[in-house]
């Protein structure tokens, strides 16, 4: 009898976790396009453009281009400040100047919490 109770309890807890997970994804899930659009709204404000955006699970890769490395830095600071509670990690390894056209380029990597932004 005790084994059967334990088995039923484990089954119930497993189903409960599944239902909570499905509910959270349905109710709290933001489309990736909405998340990318939210980041992109800041670009014009700082004079930064992107020639490529992509996402993989909860990680975003944004290729940034600007005529000033300071604009890219200010954009990153603003995104970090605005979305501090929503971002797990944000990083740009390098901002380099393209000698041919004097534009600065870098790839911003950001990892967001799945129910954020």
The domain ranges of the chain are 1-30, 32-112
- Average pLDDT value for residue range 30-38: 69
Tens of pLDDT, residues 60-115: 898 999 999 999 999 999 988 888 887 888 899 899 998 888 899 999 998 877 55
Distance CA 110, CA 28 (A): 20
* Model pLDDT, residue 73: 92
Q: Give the pairing of strands 48-56 and 59-66.
A: antiparallel
First to last CA, the chain: 48
Residue 40: pLDDT above 80?
no
Q: Which superfamily is assigned to 32-112 in CATH?
A: General secretion pathway protein M, EpsM (3.30.1360.100)
Q: Count CA atoms within 13 Å of residue 115 on its CB side.
A: 8
pLDDT for position 83: 80
Q: What is the pLDDT of residue 34?
A: 73
Cβ neighbours of residue 64 closer than 8 Å, sequence gap 6 or more: 48, 49, 50, 72, 75, 92, 95, 105, 106, 107, 108
Residues 6+ apart with CB under 8 A from 32: 55
What global pTM score does this model have?
0.65
> How far is Cα 90 from Cα 110, in angstroms, rounded to an integer?
4
pLDDT tier at 44, thresholds 50, 70, 90: confident
């Amino acid at each position: 009898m005790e084994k059967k109770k334990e088995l039923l309890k484990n089954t119930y807890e497993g189903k409960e976790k599944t239902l909570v997970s499905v509910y959270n994804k349905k109710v709290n899930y933001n489309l990736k396009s909405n998340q990318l659009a939210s980041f992109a709204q800041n670009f014009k404000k700082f004079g930064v453009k992107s020639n490529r955006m992509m996402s993989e699970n909860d990680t975003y890769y944004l290729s940034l281009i600007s005529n000033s490395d300071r604009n890219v830095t200010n954009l990153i600071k603003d995104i970090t400040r605005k979305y501090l509670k929503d971002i797990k990690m944000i990083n740009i390894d390098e901002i380099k100047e393209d000698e041919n056209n004097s534009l600065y380029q870098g790839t911003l990597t950001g990892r967001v919490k799945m129910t954020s932004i």
